[in-house]
């Protein structure tokens, strides 16, 4: 293990509970190797989740992908950033590339893709993708989480169907009144 990896692991150990030490160790790691993808990805996560500077976060994720396009964590966190920013075209391209990375958590990718479909209001496709995510899930926590997501979408569909059914089919803005 080299010094860059050591500082990265220290930073990861501090994230997100002790951000000051996390940032200090990340800066040390990147000073030894400015192209170390795990450190760049963690810096992107920090800017996304803690600092909320999405442009800088995107730059770090881009640098991480350029440094090592097989580092799977970058795809997962970058996809969540693009989802937050509602950039469906960029997200679609990133996910297409991510599915080709060996060892990546496909369940997490399908979940992200499902949320993107939900943003578009395509609930049937959302449910299909959640079921695919469930198929590729290999731990109980993710299974339970995906089950709750499926129930949430089904509940949302029911509420929207009720709302549509209760709305009048013809609603006139103008009421004609005649006075003679």
CA atoms of 26 and 16, how far apart (whole Å):
13
The domain limits of the chain are 1-85
Neighbours of 26 (CB within 10 A): 24
- Tokens in use for 67? 């440094």
- pTM score: 0.86
**Cα 67 from chain centroid (whole Å):** 21
Q: How many CB atoms lie within 10 A of CB 128?
A: 14
pLDDT tens, residue order, the chain (180 aa)? 899 999 999 999 999 999 999 999 999 999 999 999 999 999 999 999 999 999 999 999 999 999 999 999 999 999 999 999 999 999 999 999 999 999 999 999 999 999 999 999 999 999 999 999 999 999 999 999 999 999 999 999 988 888 777 766 655 555 555 555
Answer whether 112's CB lies under 8 Å from 146's CB.
no
State the architecture of 1-85 in CATH terms: Alpha Horseshoe (1.25)
Alpha carbon 162 to chain centroid, angstroms: 30
């Amino acid at each position: 293990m080299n010094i860059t990896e050591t500082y990265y692991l220290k930073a990861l150990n501090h994230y997100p509970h002790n951000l000051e030490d996390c940032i200090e160790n990340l800066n040390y790691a990147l000073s030894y190797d400015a192209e170390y993808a795990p450190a760049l990805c963690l810096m992107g996560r920090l800017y996304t989740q803690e600092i909320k500077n999405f442009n800088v976060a995107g730059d770090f994720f881009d640098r991480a992908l350029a440094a090592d396009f097989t580092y799977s964590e970058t795809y997962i966190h970058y996809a969540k950033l693009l989802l937050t920013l509602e950039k469906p075209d960029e997200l679609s391209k990133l996910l297409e590339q991510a599915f080709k990375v060996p060892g990546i958590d496909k369940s997490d990718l399908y979940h992200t893709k499902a949320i993107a479909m939900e943003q578009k209001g395509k609930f049937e496709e959302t449910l299909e993708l959640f079921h695919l995510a469930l198929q590729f899930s290999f731990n109980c926590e993710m299974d339970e989480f995906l089950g709750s997501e499926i129930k949430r979408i089904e509940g949302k569909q029911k509420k929207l169907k009720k709302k549509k059914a209760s709305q009048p089919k013809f609603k006139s803005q103008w009421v004609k009144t005649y006075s003679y």
